[in-house]
Amino acid sequence: MEMKVEVVLKEIIKPSSPTPPHHKTFNLSFFDQIAPPIYIPLVLYYTNDNDNKSLRDVIKKSLSESLTRFYPLAGRINDDNSSVDCNDDGVDYLEAKVTNGRLSQLIKHPDIHVLERFLPCEPYSSDDQSKGNSKVLLAVQVNVFEDCGGMVIGMCISHRLADASSSATFINDWAATARGATEQIMVPCFELPTLFPKVDLMGFTPPGGIKNKLEQQLLVTKRFVFDASKIAELKKRISIAANSNGGLIIDNIQEYPMMTRVEAVSAFIWKRFVELDQAKVGVAAAAAARVYSVTHAVNLRTRMVPPLPTNAFGNMYNPAFALFMNTEDEKDHTYPNLVGKVKEAIKKIDGDHVRKLQSTDAYLNYMKQIKSINSSGQTSTVMLHFSSWCRFPLYEADFGWGKPTWATTAPLPFDNVIVLMDTRSGDGIEAWVNMTKEDMDEFQLDKELLAFVS
């Protein structure tokens, strides 16, 4: 029988103490203003056999307490779309019972489209479409498996207030509050609106590339797992290829190919996608008319000078941008060359780059430059968009009954978007790949890909 998820309770959870008058208006930062009006979905899976009724009481009480520190989440976006009315209207809290299935089996044989049912809203339509009240900035759904006692916590947090890093900060504060670990409770830093003040964005349209295709064509999300041994094998293979050619070429400088697992996996997926595209359109046609590009969302907190703390709350990321003009020369898209391009793009997001971004004009000009490349009529740009959640401490979210067995996002209705997440061991990568059905039918059968994933 098909697993059934039935919502049995809907409530509003408000901060345990009122927000002080001097905090009633919270200005968004510039990066918040240009963030998409969607939710970031996060799902944590806990295998336990404790008294779920008492656990749910702990979850609600600690959520209320955490909201006193993360008070903007309990407010509502003002009509100006540049500030939050911190009115303590609260967040949506839902409880659901799960029948016809066991959590252990779901984790062992995941159906990623079933996972969407554990969320309190449709995350990618608009951030005012919760199953409970409208226009909430945070919604939570606690799902209890009746057959085994397992629990799944699904959370949707407005992208207009938080990025993935801030989402992890919030849920770990909430978990620490629940288990009474007061020394690990981290008061959020709300410094970003001061460092990157809101501006008048009239007339500016964010660049394209990530397009909602729900009404245009069928998209497919597949999860590919690179375990640590396969990543080591992949890095070794890239290193051997680089050394045989004298090292990685980065801005005409040869470097020893010391790459991160994220860089290695990103370049590998990029390479497989390029070859898929060339096979589809023909190598000669692709060489004459195609640009292959990658964006990588880079967390700016540690790249500022001095660095910002990890609890700096809000949106604080910037896309690193790499591309190559394809030719018939195979050297253009060898693994070492693509790793080098990814490394160099991320390397350029440094303290000086972040300092320049504090000038809004500089950032908008940068984004317009990317948009002009993508919209050039002389070439066809084929883009992949990566967002790495690796090293965000999602697996540390212990509410008092143990750390999660699994942490996931949800299927995305965007073309050519890849979310990279840690495996539970912390040294592997789960790649959540979103493509058109036509492309995925070919991509998931790629023999070279299948040699490295499970």
Q: Tell me, yes or no, whether 200 lies in a domain.
A: no
Annotated active-site residue in 89, 277, 332, 398: 398
Return the SS3 of 152: strand
E strand or H helix that includes residue 310: none
Strand blocks (E) in 2-137: 4-13, 25-27, 39-46, 76-77, 83-85, 91-99
In a shared domain, residues 21 and 149:
yes
- Tell me the per-residue pLDDT of 108-121, one tens digit each, with 9 for 90 and over: 999 988 999 999 99
Whole-number pLDDT of residue 393:
98
- Is residue 113 annotated as a catalytic residue, yes or no? no
In a shared domain, residues 169 and 250:
no
Q: Fill in the amino acid letter for 63.
A: L
Return the SS3 of 388: strand
E strand or H helix that includes residue 433: strand 429-436
Q: Is 441's pLDDT higher than 60?
A: yes
In a shared domain, residues 176 and 302:
no
Whole-number pLDDT of residue 227:
97
Which of 195, 222, 246 is the last residue before a domain boundary? 195
Q: Tell me, yes or no, whether 434 lies in a domain.
A: yes
Beta-bridge partners for 152: 45, 143
List all residues 6 or more positions away from 128 whose beta carbon is below 8 Å from its beta carbon.
Answer: 134, 135, 136
Q: Tell me, yes or no, whether 201 lies in a domain.
A: no
Q: Which domain holds residue 267?
A: 213-390+407-451
Beta-bridge partners for 83: 27
Whole-number pLDDT of residue 307:
96
Lowest mean pLDDT among 184-188, 375-379, 420-424: 375-379
- Exposed, middle or buried by CB within 10 Å (0-12, 13-18, 19+), for 151? buried
- Is residue 296 annotated as a catalytic residue, yes or no? no
Alpha helical stretches, state H, 45-102: 52-69
CB 221, CB 411: distance < 8 Å: yes
Q: Per-residue confidence at 250, pLDDT binned at 50, 70, 90?
A: very low
Lowest mean pLDDT among 9-18, 106-115, 170-179, 209-218: 209-218
Which of 165, 195, 225 is the last residue before a domain boundary? 195
The β-bridge relationship of strands 39-46 and 406-408 is antiparallel
Euclidean distance between CA atoms 131 and 431, whole angstroms: 28
In a shared domain, residues 139 and 242:
no
Q: Is 215's pLDDT higher than 50?
A: no
Domain count, the chain: 2
In a shared domain, residues 175 and 62:
yes
- Tell me the per-residue pLDDT of 258-275, one tens digit each, with 9 for 90 and over: 789 999 999 999 999 999
Annotated active-site residue in 32, 92, 127, 159: 159
Which of 195, 227, 253 is the last residue before a domain boundary? 195
DSSP state of 225: E
Q: Which two tokens stand for residue 448?
A: 């070279």
In a shared domain, residues 158 and 75:
yes
Q: Per-residue confidence at 148, pLDDT binned at 50, 70, 90?
A: confident
- Tell me the per-residue pLDDT of 23-49, one tens digit each, with 9 for 90 and over: 999 999 999 998 988 999 999 999 987
In a shared domain, residues 327 and 354:
yes
CATH code: domain of residue 118: 3.30.559.10
Closest CA to 360 of 194, 163, 199: 199
E strand or H helix that includes residue 270: helix 261-281
Euclidean distance between CA atoms 181 and 183, whole angstroms: 6
Q: Tell me, yes or no, whether 203 lies in a domain.
A: no
In a shared domain, residues 221 and 190:
no
In a shared domain, residues 333 and 278:
yes
In a shared domain, residues 76 and 28:
yes
The β-bridge relationship of strands 290-299 and 317-325 is antiparallel
- Tell me the per-residue pLDDT of 290-318, one tens digit each, with 9 for 90 and over: 888 999 999 999 999 999 999 999 999 99
Closest CA to 391 of 345, 350, 428, 434: 428
Q: Per-residue confidence at 207, pLDDT binned at 50, 70, 90?
A: very low
Return the SS3 of 220: strand
CA angle 165, 169, 173 (to 5 degrees): 170
Q: Tell me, yes or no, whether 12 lies in a domain.
A: yes
Q: Tell me, yes or no, whether 272 lies in a domain.
A: yes
Q: Tell me, yes or no, whether 202 lies in a domain.
A: no
Q: Is 349's pLDDT higher than 50?
A: yes
DSSP state of 378: S
In a shared domain, residues 277 and 370:
yes
Closest CA to 280 of 436, 59, 128, 105: 436
In a shared domain, residues 383 and 266:
yes
Q: Tell me, yes or no, whether 206 lies in a domain.
A: no
Beta-bridge partners for 212: 414
Give the residue, 212 or 383, on which the prediction is more confident. 383
